[in-house]
Amino acid sequence: MFEVDPNTVLQWLGEAAEQLRTFTIYFLCDVHAQQLQLDELYAVIRALKAGELSEEDAIERLEGARPWVWTAIDPVSKLLLAIEVGPRTVAMAQRVVHQVVGILAPGCVPAWFSDGFKGYLPAILGHFGVWTQPERRQDQGPRPKPRWLPLPQLLYAQVVKQYRRKRVVGVHHRVVFGTLEAIEHVLAACGWKINTSFIEGSCWIPGSWIYNVVRPDFYVPYPPCSRYFSRALGMS
């Protein structure tokens, strides 16, 4: 197609994305998942690597564009449950987890796996917790205040990577909720160990977007735009 205004194409893209989002919300519900993987991906500007753009200008563009792409996937069925664009904040982690929980079937408590981002912990605990009344240790005095604790069946583990000069030099696993034995039991059904490899590979994003929305060691040829990403990813 030639001589088409980019704004017109962007408008078509937005309308199509809204229709597809509505279609997805209607059909993607009551999902039974045994485990879920969460991750955030970001894009950087190729011009910075080529020396055509200063680091200060690149940071300014990236901060304004909010190029983080948040994803959640069921590694067993390979079903992509959530994909959002926004900053790497606790509020954004809560938004993604809230979206995923809205898709899950009532009473479904999957095992969660993510990287070491701390924002996932309050997001998951906020949806899979219960008020518990601690027992009194003394006969006199005020009763202990209720505490919000994770559900007994909740499992959550993190894959924490250690970096040195932007290179991975070590990886260790951190069990946040549950026990290591319980998590290994869930993974044993698939013959897996604790990992986030399915979501990290970004191979479940449509092929035309793998070049533009990828892991940190890749680059995109244009300044990222959250509106452009949101509408285009909505069509996925």
pTM: 0.74
Residue 136 inside a domain? The answer is no
- HSE, side-chain direction, 13 A CA sphere, residue 224: 32
pLDDT digits (tens, 9 = 90+) for 107-144: 999 999 999 999 999 999 999 999 999 888 887 878 88
Number of other CB atoms surrounding residue 230 within 10 Å? 18
pLDDT number for residue 129: 95
Task: Give bridge partners of residue 61 from the DSSP assignment.
Answer: none
Query: Would you say 213 and 202 are in contact if contact means Cβ atoms under 8 Å apart?
Result: yes
pLDDT number for residue 213: 41
Structural domain harbouring 43: 6-129+148-234
Confidence grade of residue 74 (pLDDT, cut at 50, 70, 90): very high
- Report the alpha-carbon distance of residue 199 to residue 206 in Å, rounded: 13
Residue 167 inside a domain? The answer is yes
What value does the mean pLDDT take over residues 69-83? 89
Residue 135 inside a domain? The answer is no
Q: In whole angstroms, how far apart are CA 10 and each of 4, 211, 227, 228, 232?
A: 11, 19, 10, 8, 9
Residue 175 inside a domain? The answer is yes
Q: Quick check: 210 pLDDT over 70?
A: no
Residue 229 amino acid letter: F
Please tell me the least confidently modeled range out of 4-18, 178-192, 196-210: 196-210
Number of other CB atoms surrounding residue 36 within 10 Å? 26
End-to-end CA distance of the chain: 21
pLDDT number for residue 207: 39
pLDDT digits (tens, 9 = 90+) for 188-207: 999 999 988 887 664 444 43
What value does the mean pLDDT take over residues 179-193? 94
Q: Where are the beta strands (DSSP E) in 9-66?
A: 35-41
At 43, phi and psi to the nearest 5? Answer: -115, 145
pLDDT number for residue 162: 87
Residue 102 inside a domain? The answer is yes
Q: Quick check: 49 pLDDT over 60?
A: no
- The structural domain count of the chain equals 1
